[in-house]
Structure 1
Amino acid sequence: MASASGAEVEWERVLWKRQPFPDNYVPKTFLSSLSTNANFRPYTYASLVLASCTISLHLAVIFIFLAIFVRLRERTLDPRLLVWISVLSFVCFYTLWEIVEHLATAQSRLANRAKTVKSSILIFLALLALSPVLRTLTAATSSDSIWALAACLFALNVLLADYTPMLSAQQHPRERLSSVLSVNAAIAASVVLASRLADDVSVFALMLLSVEAFALAPLLRRRLQTAPAGFAGLTLLAAGLAVALTAGLSRTVAVLYAAAFAFVTLAAPSLLVWAQRYKNEIRGSWDPAVPKVNLAPHGARPG
């Protein structure tokens, strides 16, 4: 735009200066700073499949637990055998935890082992004492209501579970409220299901398995997420066990679980990779200003 003296005036991006331009003026250089997907990092299919293994493993644990509950209810599984399997599983999982956990000194390992053994004994005795109470907890409630309540609680457990990994062995983050609610929902679902069993030993066996599957196993799962190959192998093993256990009860349920596993683990990541082509993040000089903080050491003058 030309001024009164005939000289051409250039537009400046300032607010404190009066300029001979209308408010809706668009300069020719408006799109010179346009950038598309500047901060976008495309996903790879392998990384998404590995990330989805966390959800797949969690679903496999739930289906394994439900298959064991049905066998206990139908008296095709000896509850005493399940107790021994749970104890041996705890020993194996704790040994694996000790392998992946790198503590600072041997004293800290001994102290943690003593606390773990003490807590395990207390939980074992508490469940043993509460089994007669839990067996009659929902005696006045119909089974249909119990199945619906358990399904809602397990769905809440899946939605609120913490699927983020522990990036280091020294990382002991504070538990999120959502993850605490997730564990409580799973334990509550286990309690209402255990109340449908016929004897105290079955109730005790199922609750012992529930504590391991929904309170202790997620901690180990978050540790193992830092080892991709081992974590993927553990997910496939759990999925195969879930299919085998559910197939012995209902082929329809086994097929539905296999389809859900295939969708979550294989199909959903491919859909997300395909949808990346439509990602279009536009940035330019019209975006809000981002302050640049001086990162120079304290007391040093910027050059």
Structure 2
Amino acid sequence: MPPRLNVPFRSRRRDTGAEYTAPLSALQDADDVLGAATASDGFAPLTALARPQLPGAVAGVPLSLRPRRPWRKLLYIQQDYPDDYVDSTFLRELQKNANVRMYDYRTVVLQTTVVTQHMSSIMVFIAVFINLYRGALTGSALLWCSSATTVVGFVAWDMLRLALKTPVQRIVRLGLIKGAVLFALLLFGLSPILRTLTEDTSSDTIWAMTVIFFCVNLAFHDYSTGNLTNIRFPGSVSLNAAVLASVLLASQLDSNTSVFAFLSFALKWFALFPIFRRHLKRVSAAASVATTVVLALVAATMFMYISRAIAMLFVLGTLFITFGCPLWLIWVQRYKNEIHGPWDEARPVVHHYFN
């Protein structure tokens, strides 16, 4: 049995790796002694065996004295740095509020006019129903007034087309007239059925459902100016809610003429008039502001004879939405803190190849 040798060998483990402080000469002397002791016993010397690898020790140089490789911003590779290490250039790519749009007060006020217009139009529609329900307005007068305003709207539309030199499509105009006539005849035939549609339903339920449908109409209305002809989602939800509310209100009237006049006015008011308002806003901002002021004044005046409290609430709400909410939005912008940097997820670049 070979004698036990006490070789001065010491190892120490750090975060950066294993470090061996024993010089290679001491290992060489131990190999010579072990080789001489085991040669007589028939064992292979230590030089013939696989020597342990010494990571970081190259020609007797410790790992702590070896220069480290530069840090790279890669997560799934083994580096000589802790996992939470970042260099001094990491925050150079930091961006704050890069995609935040700062608003101007005048611009935001002009953009809120579409909300004020639609809210005023709903108030005017409700005031017309209350006058029709109380008998202050007859169905024939409402039918003639709505038809006259529709003709005036089409004339104004044509004048805008002539001013902008836009070609008029006669085929579309003829199709619209035919559809309006057929729909009016169908609505006139269904007026007796619609009048008795909710006879077994209490009035409180009708009023509550009407308020809910008008809130849905106000929330899902299409306030953009890009869509003029096609009614898409969520504009279709808004239109359907307005039609349902109109049918519920029409079922509370006492004559077929009033039901027909009211429903025809509702379809013109909620289907055609918003398209005209969008086109007017696209053409002239001043004309859109004037339309907003006229609608708000008409709604407030009509409700002054119905309920002064509701009229005052409407005026205060209109002023808050038109002038208060834009100021509030601009004040809140100072607390916007959106940051972007190298820690964000990588966005793949998709290349489209066409044959």
Q: TM-score, normalised by structure 2?
A: 0.76
2:126 alignment counterpart: 66
- Asked if 1:22 is matched to 2:78, the reply is no
Q: Is 1:50 the equivalent of 2:110?
A: yes
- Which residue is equivalent to 2:298? 241
The more displaced of 188-197 and 128-137 is: 128-137
Q: Distance in 1 between matches of 2:76 and 2:241?
A: 59
- Structure 1 pair 3–54 and aligned structure 2 pair: CA distance change class (3 A): farther
Aligned length: 292
Q: Larger Rg: 1 or 2?
A: 2
Match of 1:250 among 307, 310, 320: 307
Distance 1:15 1:141 in 2: 67
Stretches of structure 2 that go unaligned for 5 or more consecutive residues are: 1-15, 17-61
What is the CA-CA distance between 1:292 and the residue it aligns to? 5.0
Aligned to 1:191: 247
Corresponding position: 1:212 with 2:259: no
Shift of the 291–103 alpha-carbon distance from structure 1 to 2, 3 Å rule, reads farther
CA-to-aligned-CA distance 1:192-213 (integer Å, 9 cap, x gap): 1111112112111111110011
Kindly provide the amino acid, as one letter, of the partner of residue 182 in structure 1: S
Match of 2:335 in 1: 278
What stretches of structure 1 of length at least 5 have no aligned partner?
Answer: none
Offset, 1:36: 0.9
Question: Which residue of structure 1 aligns with residue 181 of structure 2?
Answer: 121
Give the secondary structure class of the aligned counterpart of 2:91. Answer: coil
The answer for the alignment partner of 1:157 in structure 2 is 217
Alignment of 1:34 onto 2:94: yes
Q: Once the 2 structures are TM-superposed, how far is the Cα of residue 256 of structure 1 from its aligned partner? A: 1.0
Aligned equivalent of 2:190, options 116, 119, 130: 130
Are residues 1:181 and 2:241 paired?
no
Matched position secondary structure for 1:32: helix
Q: Percent identity?
A: 36
**Structure showing greater relative contact order (alpha-carbon pairs closer than 8 Å, 6 or more residues apart):** 1
In structure 2, the CA distance between the partners of 1:143 and 1:15, relative to structure 1 (3 Å rule), is: closer
Report the CA distance shift for 1:291/1:197 in structure 2 as closer, same or farther (over 3 A). Answer: same
Aligned-residue Cα RMSD (Å) equals 2.5
> For residues 163-222 of structure 1, what are the alpha-carbon distances to aligned partners after superposition, in whole Å with 9 as ceiling and x for unaligned?
11127xxx75x5323211211111111111111112112111111110011111122222
Q: How big is the shift at 1:127?
A: 2.1
Distance 1:38 1:9 in 2: 34
Structure 1: distance between partners of 2:63 and 2:274: 71
Deviations 1:257-286 (A, max 9, x none): 111111111111110011001111111111
TM-score computed with the length of structure 1 as normaliser? 0.88
* d(CA) in 1 for partners of 2:96, 2:339: 5
